[in-house]
Amino acid sequence: MRREPPKSLADHAPLLFPATMLIVFFVLPFGTMIAVSFFKRQQGGFYTPDFVFDNYGRFLSAFFGGVLGFSLMLAIMVSICCVVLALPFTYLLTRMARSAQVVWLVALLSILSLSEVIIGFAWSTLFSRTAGITNVLVALGLMEQAEALTPSFGAVLTGMVYQAFPYTVLVLYPALVRLDPTLTEAARTLGASPLKAFFTVVVPALRNTIVATLVMVFIFALGSYLLPQLLGRPQHWTLSVLITDQAIYQSNMPFAAAMAVFLVLVTLGLVALTVLVGRRGEAA
């Protein structure tokens, strides 16, 4: 059915509420942050309105470039791990009985009720030497002595994947439920194995959903603040940690705003690039 184009101002009325929310909760705060990023910092933690590029010049250094690169790499790894784990899990979940699906979904939703602090300290305990999972491996004879697995990059990655995994499943679940099961049955009838039917039928059919999920988890992981501090070393801290350090502990709000603006622009650029690549893939 063809949609008629709006012909009067009244036809644009449904857009008024979302446009107002976008302006109030994104455009105005982001505009304020951009303005503050050009302010000049004074001694004692104060800053005066100005238009200088010193904050951006300081940010474009090897140290902060390395932190930005690590933050992007960590967010990409978290998004890939979540989709690789959640896609087959959700596919098998949708093939279960309705009652079993409800139980699993309730269990996943219960994880969302946990705060980042609880998740961080729980994984810190599990990765510790005295009460961690390495003691179980020692008891099973797989290790000679218990070791501490935190702080480390693996601990940070595990904690962030655990935190983002329920969101990934909840995004993939509606698309997999709506997927026509006769497609995989037809592939099986033609001789494809279950694994080949999954990769040749299910994955291509959900390409747009998978790309959207990757983008969502990437943005979610890029803003992670507490888990890198609890489970990692200082070299594993993300740019969000440094922004908070500059804004709260160093009282350098203009520099923190410059880093935040740069991080938002990089995120928007990567999202736009992902959408563009996805559209070209559809057209091909």
pTM: 0.83
Q: Is the dihedral of CA 141, 145, 149, 150 positive or negative?
A: positive
Tokens read off for 104: 């699993």
Helix, strand or coil, per DSSP, at residue 50: coil
Q: How far apart are CA 18 and CA 147, in angstroms?
A: 52
Peptide bond into 151 cis (omega under 30): yes
Name the CA dihedral angle for 5, 10, 15, 18, rounded to a multiple of 10 degrees.
Answer: -170
Which pLDDT tens digits describe the chain residue by residue (284 residues)? 566 677 777 777 778 888 999 999 989 998 998 998 898 877 766 778 888 888 888 777 788 888 888 998 999 999 999 999 999 999 999 989 989 999 998 888 888 888 888 999 999 999 988 877 888 888 888 888 888 888 899 999 999 999 999 999 999 999 999 888 888 888 888 888 888 888 888 888 888 889 889 888 988 888 888 899 889 888 888 888 888 888 888 888 888 888 888 888 888 887 787 777 767 666 65
In 190-252, which ranges are continuous DSSP H helix? Answer: 194-197, 203-205, 207-222, 226-231, 239-244
Q: How far apart are CA 255 and CA 247, in angstroms?
A: 8
